[in-house]
Amino acid sequence: MQGPMPREQYQQFTLLLEAVIQAEDIINVIYFRYHNHRIKITELSKDE
């Protein structure tokens, strides 16, 4: 079993996650500004 994540790696992961969240927010603002409605997120379902 792998031990706990080193502090430096945890900080890098946290910064990357924060950057992704901010990028998502920016995309949503730009999309709303040009289309006057929010992005619709639909889940794709598989027919089994």
For residue 4, what pLDDT is reported? Answer: 78
For residue 5, what pLDDT is reported? Answer: 78
User: Distance between CA atoms of 29 and 24, rounded to whole angstroms?
Assistant: 9
Closest Cα to residue 38, out of 46, 3, 30, 9? 30
For residue 39, what pLDDT is reported? Answer: 75
pTM passes above 0.75: no
For residue 20, what pLDDT is reported? Answer: 95
Residues of the chain with pLDDT under 70: 1, 42-48
